[in-house]
């Protein structure tokens, strides 16, 4: 059938690659003009999800799944118990009337005022990845509870135009939850710091403001305003999060689209989408949205930085509690007197100090 006949056939709508790329470029420009506004990214990610949905079909005829785009997808049981991922691609089963997520996107703005298609913007996106993990874990926990038929969740974390793909598994998430709860239940005891020589100040650094900010750091004394439980000066227990409880990081900080102006989807992204769809016996139809048959998996970038940030995000609740314990012990146990060069000293809770019966007057 000639192209003219296709155009004159009311049963078809022609949607070309050029039209899709033009829409992607328009949506990208909207987002980059207001880089701190997450909402300006929604049209871009909706276009991406829609392109995928309209080209996806079931490989197995026994499955009657239809892929649909759900903006602000509702993962919950009631208005009081839910999560709303930014955009989800959900399967709907005609036979059962049940729907469930094939994968979803959680997007965040990229606070870079230059064009996002630059090395500087790509590096900035890496820094934002870790902060999104707690929110995504909350969504996964809700999805696994609301959709009992699934045991895996594919989640695209998108910062600007840079995406990472995580595969969460029910068993691993349950193990991660139990590991964290067990740590909170059986907190190990540990000393605050290494012994401090008597000639040195015994005032906790966070309770002291140095008159001379250029004073050299002394052994055994914290000199940052934030306590670091992982510091070499601390004898805190090892809290490295077990790898067997972490989700699988499949891709990290890859560009979503290519070209200036946009002229194609990143083949790595198309392959990642296909990986998520194949979990449910579905695939994208052969078209300009298909990843090349000779696709080289080595095109994907290194995962090491992402794995480190992922482990750090999972350990964060334990690190926070550990830091809190250190600070509480300092408040209760740190002795006096203060060093004469110290100022703004705050006494501990249990330190007996002489107090004037008269309120201090402001001069």
Summarised one tens digit per residue, pLDDT across range 287-329 is 888 877 777 767 788 999 999 999 999 998 888 888 777 777 7
Whole-number Å distance between alpha carbons of 102 and 273 = 10
Q: Which two tokens stand for residue 329?
A: 């012990």
pLDDT reported for residue 341 = 60
**Contact status, residue 189 vs residue 289, Cβ threshold 8 Å:** no
Q: Which two tokens stand for residue 339?
A: 């060093």
Cβ burial 193-230 (10 Å sphere, 16+ → b, else e): beeeeeeebebbbbbbeeeeeeeeeeeebbeeeebebe
Residues 6+ apart with CB under 8 A from 90: 67, 68, 69, 70, 73, 99, 100, 101, 102
Q: Which residues pair with 108 in a beta bridge?
A: 159
pLDDT reported for residue 206 = 52
pLDDT reported for residue 115 = 92
pLDDT reported for residue 212 = 43
Whole-number Å distance between alpha carbons of 266 and 268 = 5
Which residue stretches of the chain have pLDDT < 70? Answer: 1-7, 59-63, 188-238, 297, 330, 332-363
Residues 6+ apart with CB under 8 A from 244: 172, 175
Phi-psi category of residue 238: left, alpha or beta, with phi > 0 → left and psi -120 to 50 → alpha: beta
Whole-number Å distance between alpha carbons of 259 and 269 = 14
Whole-number Å distance between alpha carbons of 206 and 186 = 27
Q: Which two tokens stand for residue 90?
A: 């959900």
- DSSP secondary structure letter of residue 224: S
Tell me if the pTM is above 0.75.
yes
pLDDT reported for residue 43 = 97
pLDDT reported for residue 188 = 62
């Amino acid at each position: 059938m000639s192209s003219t006949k296709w155009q004159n056939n009311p049963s078809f709508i022609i949607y070309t690659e050029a039209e899709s790329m033009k829409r992607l470029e328009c949506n990208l420009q909207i987002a980059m003009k207001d880089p701190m506004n997450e909402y300006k990214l929604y049209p871009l990610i909706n276009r991406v999800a829609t392109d995928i949905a309209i080209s996806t079909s079931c490989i197995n005829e026994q499955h009657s799944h239809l892929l649909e785009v759900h903006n602000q997808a509702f993962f919950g049981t009631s208005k009081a118990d839910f999560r709303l991922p930014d955009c989800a691609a959900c399967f709907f089963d005609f036979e059962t009337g049940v729907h469930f997520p094939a994968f979803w996107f959680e997007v965040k703005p990229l606070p870079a005022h230059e064009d996002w298609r630059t090395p500087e913007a790509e590096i900035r996106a890496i820094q934002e990845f870790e902060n999104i993990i707690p929110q995504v874990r909350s969504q996964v926990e809700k999805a696994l509870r609301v959709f009992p038929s699934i045991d895996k969740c594919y989640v695209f974390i998108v910062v600007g135009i840079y995406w990472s793909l995580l595969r969460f598994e029910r068993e691993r998430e349950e193990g991660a939850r139990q590991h964290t709860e067990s740590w909170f239940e059986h907190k190990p005891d540990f000393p605050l710091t290494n012994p401090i020589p008597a000639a040195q100040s015994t005032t906790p650094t966070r309770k002291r403001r140095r008159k001379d900010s250029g004073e050299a750091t002394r052994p055994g004394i914290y000199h940052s305003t934030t306590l670091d439980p992982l510091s070499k000066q601390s004898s805190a227990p090892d809290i490295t999060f077990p790898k067997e409880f972490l989700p699988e990081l499949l891709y990290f900080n890859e560009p979503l689209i290519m070209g200036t102006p946009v002229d194609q989807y990143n083949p790595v992204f198309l392959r990642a989408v296909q990986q998520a769809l194949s979990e449910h016996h579905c695939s994208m139809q052969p078209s300009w949205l298909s990843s090349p048959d000779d696709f080289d998996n080595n095109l994907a970038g290194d995962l090491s930085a992402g794995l480190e940030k992922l482990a750090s995000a999972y350990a964060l609740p334990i690190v926070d509690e550990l830091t809190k314990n250190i600070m509480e012990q300092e408040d209760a146990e740190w002795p006096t007197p203060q060093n004469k060069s110290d100022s703004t000293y705050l006494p501990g809770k249990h330190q007996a100090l002489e107090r004037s019966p008269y309120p201090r007057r402001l001069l």
